[in-house]
A and B are shown apart, each in its own frame.
Chain A
Amino acid sequence: MRLISQIGEWFDRRLQLAAPIREITEHPVPRNTASWWYVFGSAALTVFVLQLVTGILLAMIYVPSGSEAWSSLQSLNHDVTLGWFIRALHGWGSNFMVAIVLIHMVQVFLFGAYKFPRELTWIVGVFLLLMTLGMAFTGQVLRFDQDAYWGLGIGASIASRVPIIGPLAVKLMLGGPIIAGATLSRFFALHVFVIPGMLIGFVCLHLLMVLKLGINEWPMPGRLVRKATYLTEYHELTKKDGAPFVPYAVWKDLFFAAFILLAVAACAAYFGPFGPTGRPDPTIIQTAPKPDYFFLWLYALLSLLPPSMETPALLIGPVVAILILLLLPFLSGEGEKSWRRRPIAVLTILLLAISLGTLTHLSGFTPWSPHMNAWSGDPVPDQFLRRSTALQRQGALVFQVKQCRNCHSLGESGGQRGPALDSVAVRLTQDQLIRQVIQGGGNMPAYGNNLSPAQTTALVSFLKTLHPAGQAPARDASRDAVIGVSQERADPAQP
C-alpha cells in the first residue's frame, strides 16, 4: 500500500493533477440534481467512447476503397473472429447515441437548463447534435452498399438544389462527377478524422462549461431565472443544499452508463450488425434504397411534401430549425424553468415527437411507393370476380396487366399510392371512371395513350362492379334521362 501511494506521489509531484481532479469530482451540486433525469449526458459520453473504441477496431480491417469496402465488410461479418459483433456494437451504438443525445436535449429543454448562464453550453450542444447526425449519415455511407450508394445520390440531389452553388457542392461532396471511389474516401476522412476530432473538442468544451457553471438545479415552478440574481442564488443553493458530485450523484450516472452499454451489447448480440445490403453496383436497379432509422422521417417527408414546396422546405427548413435551436437561449434566456409552467414547450416537444414518430412509422410501409410486383404477385381476389361477365373479367385482366394494382389495392392487397378501389364504383360514375382512366389526374398518370378503347371499356365495366353488396354504384341521373335505363340496372352481375 505504501509503495502504491509513493508511486502516486512521485507522479503527482510531476503532473500536479490530483488537486484539480479532486476539486472537479467533489464540486458541490444541488442535492435534487442527483436524479435519474440527469444521467443522459454522461450516457451519451459513454456511448461516444464505445463508438471511438469500436470504430478504431473496425478501421483495422475496413478498407475505405470503392472496390474493396463492401468485401472488407463481408469479411468482418463472416471471416474475422467476432468481427460481426464489433460491427454490430458500432451500428447499435450509433442508434443509441442519436437516441440518447435527443433525449438529453429534450430533458435540457424541458428543465430550462439552456437559460442564463448556460446559453453557450446549449449552443455547443446543438453543434454536438449536428455532428452526431453527421456521424450517423457518414457512417451509413461507409457501409458502402446499395443503400449507401443511392443514399449518396439522394444527398447529391438535395445538395444540387441549393441556388448557384448547388452543382459545385455536389462535386465537392462526391469528390468528382459521379458517386465513386473518391466519394467513399472523402466520407471516410469525414467520419474517421474530421467530425470525431471536432466532436472530441466540442465535448470537452461542453463538459468544461458544465463544470464551470454548475449543473442546472431542479426546476421549481415559480422560481424564475433573473440574470442579476441567478448566480448568487445558485451559489447559495449549492452551499446550503449541496453535496459533492462524487459520490453523491455520480452513482446514478455509473449505473445508467453500464445499463446502456449492456443494452447496446444485448442488441448487438441479438440483432447482429446492419448490412451491408447488396453490392454498390449501380447497374443493379432492382433495389428500393432506404436510409437508416434516424433519417426515415425525412425519407417519408420527402414523399409527402407537395412537389412545389419540396425544394424550399429542404433548403430553408433545416436552416430555420438550426437557427431556432441556436437562438433559443437568447429568446428565452430568463424566466420560468419548470415544464409545469411552460405549456408551449411541452406541446412543442409532443408535436415534434408525434410528427417524427408518425413519419417514421409511415416509412415502414411506404404507402407512397408503387408495389412493383403487385400486378404479377397479387391476383384479383375471388370475391370481386364472382358472377361477373366475360367483359368484366377481361377488365379485371386489363386491371392486372396494366399494373393498376401497383398503386391501387383490392381486398387489402396491392399498392397504396392511389386510393383502394374496393368501392370505387360508389364514388365515381361510369363517365368519371372513363375520364379518370384516360386523362389521369390527382396524382394518377393518364392511360389514354396506353389503353385501346376496347380495353378501357372492359376496365371500366370491371371497375363498375366494385362496390359493397348493399350499396348501389354511383350513377349520373342526367345520363339516365338521356340514354334511358342505365346499364347498371340491367347489369346481371348486380344483386
Chain B
Amino acid sequence: MPVDTTLSRRGLFMKLGILFNGLVATVIAVPIVEFLLSSVTRRSNSYLSWVPLGSVSEFPEGETRLATFRNPNVMPTDGKTVDTACWVRRVEGNQFQVFAINCAHLGCPVRWFPQSALFMCPCHGGAYYRDGSRASGPPERGLFEYPSKVENGLVTIQAGELPTPGAPSAALFGKRPPCA
C-alpha cells in the first residue's frame, strides 16, 4: 500500500499550531532566560565600588586589624549578610594591605594571630604570612587582596564581590606568589 504523503487540512493546521506555539514559547523564553541570568549578565565591575573602612589613625602602624564594611550592593532582604569583614594591615605610613576574610582555598574566614604573625584558617588548615602570601596548607595562592587607597584620611577599598579563586577579579585581589 503506497504511503499517503499528501498533507490534509487538519494535519496542516496541527503543524501550524505546533509552529505557532514554538514561536510564542521562544518569545516568552527570551525574557525568562534573561531574568534567570540577570546576576550573570550584569557587567562584573558594575558590582565594584570604593568603600571606606575607617580613618587611617584607627589602624596602628605595623599592625593588622579586623575591619568591617557594608557591601555596596544591598537588597532589603539581605539582613546581616552584607556586612563583611576584612583584615587591614598598615605596613607603614599610608601604605596599606587589605585582605579578604575568605581563605583562598575554599573561602572560610581566616583569623589573624599577631603572636606568630600568621593568618590561620579553621576549615582545612591553610596558613598565610603577614603580607598575605601562602605559608602552608591547601591554598594554592596567597590571600585575596582588595585594591586599596587612602583618600581624605580614610582607608578605602574596592569591594563588592565575593572573592573566589576563579573569579576574573581574583587577579584584582592580588597576584599569585611566585612559589605557588
Give the interface segment out of A110-118, A212-220, A303-311: A303-311
Q: Specify which of B36, B137, B140, B167 is in contact with A170 (CB 8 Å cutoff).
A: B167
Considering the complex, give the chain B residue whose CB is closest to the CB of A290. Answer: B123
The answer to whether A168 has its CB under 8 Å from any CB of chain B is yes
The answer to whether A372 has its CB under 8 Å from any CB of chain B is yes
A170 touches B106 (CB 8 A): no
Could you give, for residues 157-168 of chain B, a 1 whenever the CB lies within 8 Å of some chain A CB and a 0 otherwise?
000111011111
B109 touches A450 (CB 8 A): no
Q: Specify which of A175, A369, A403, A443 is in contact with B122 (CB 8 Å cutoff).
A: A369
The answer to whether A368 has its CB under 8 Å from any CB of chain B is yes
User: Shortest Cβ distance from A372 into chain B, in angstroms?
Assistant: 6
B166 touches A166 (CB 8 A): yes
* Chain B contacts for A226, CB-based, 8 A: none
B125 touches A368 (CB 8 A): yes
The answer to whether B13 has its CB under 8 Å from any CB of chain A is no
Residue among B116, B118, B162 with the most chain A CB within 10 A? B162
B111 touches A285 (CB 8 A): yes
The complex places the Cα of A181 from the Cα of B77 at a distance, in Å, of: 5
On whether A172 and B37 interact (CB within 8 A), knowing A282-B85, A370-B127, the answer reads: yes
The answer to whether A419 has its CB under 8 Å from any CB of chain B is no
* Chain B contacts for A159, CB-based, 8 A: 164, 166
B73 touches A150 (CB 8 A): no
The answer to whether A431 has its CB under 8 Å from any CB of chain B is no
The answer to whether A209 has its CB under 8 Å from any CB of chain B is no
* Chain B contacts for A425, CB-based, 8 A: none
The complex places the Cα of A68 from the Cα of B122 at a distance, in Å, of: 27
On whether A168 and B40 interact (CB within 8 A), knowing A157-B106, A443-B137, the answer reads: yes
Total number of A residues with any Cβ neighbor in B under 8 Å = 72
Interface residues of B in 82-138 (CB under 8 A from A): 82-85, 101-102, 105-111, 113, 115-118, 120-125, 127, 129, 135-138
* Chain B contacts for A27, CB-based, 8 A: none
B83 touches A283 (CB 8 A): yes
* Chain A contacts for B26, CB-based, 8 A: none
On whether A171 and B39 interact (CB within 8 A), knowing A176-B73, A302-B138, the answer reads: yes
On whether A167 and B39 interact (CB within 8 A), knowing A157-B106, A182-B75, the answer reads: no
Q: Specify which of A167, A178, A185, A311 is in contact with B84 (CB 8 Å cutoff).
A: A178
Residue among B71, B79, B81 with the most chain A CB within 10 A? B81
The answer to whether A154 has its CB under 8 Å from any CB of chain B is yes
Q: Say which size band chain B's interface belongs to.
A: 35 or more
User: Shortest Cβ distance from B111 into chain A, in angstroms?
Assistant: 6
The answer to whether B80 has its CB under 8 Å from any CB of chain A is yes
The complex places the Cα of A158 from the Cα of B83 at a distance, in Å, of: 23
Q: Specify which of A171, A285, A288, A443 is in contact with B85 (CB 8 Å cutoff).
A: A285
The complex places the Cα of A440 from the Cα of B83 at a distance, in Å, of: 36
The complex places the Cα of A431 from the Cα of B73 at a distance, in Å, of: 55
User: Shortest Cβ distance from B125 into chain A, in angstroms?
Assistant: 4
B85 touches A307 (CB 8 A): no
The complex places the Cα of A299 from the Cα of B107 at a distance, in Å, of: 13
A154 touches B108 (CB 8 A): yes
Chain A residues in the interface with B (C-beta under 8 A): 65-68, 70, 149-150, 153-154, 156-162, 166-168, 170-172, 174-185, 279-283, 285-289, 299, 302-303, 305, 307-308, 310-311, 366, 368-370, 372, 375, 401-404, 406, 417, 440, 443-447, 449-450
What are the nearest 4 A-B pairs in CB distance?
Answer: A67-B79, A160-B166, A181-B77, A153-B107
Chain A to chain B contacts (Cβ below 8 Å), 21 pairs: A149-B81, A153-B107, A156-B162, A157-B102, A159-B166, A161-B165, A167-B164, A172-B39, A177-B73, A178-B81, A179-B81, A180-B78, A182-B39, A281-B83, A282-B81, A283-B80, A289-B108, A299-B124, A369-B121, A402-B116, A406-B120
**Given A166-B164, A369-B124: 11 more A-B contacts, CB < 8 Å:** A154-B123, A157-B164, A159-B166, A167-B168, A170-B166, A172-B39, A176-B39, A181-B77, A282-B84, A287-B109, A450-B117
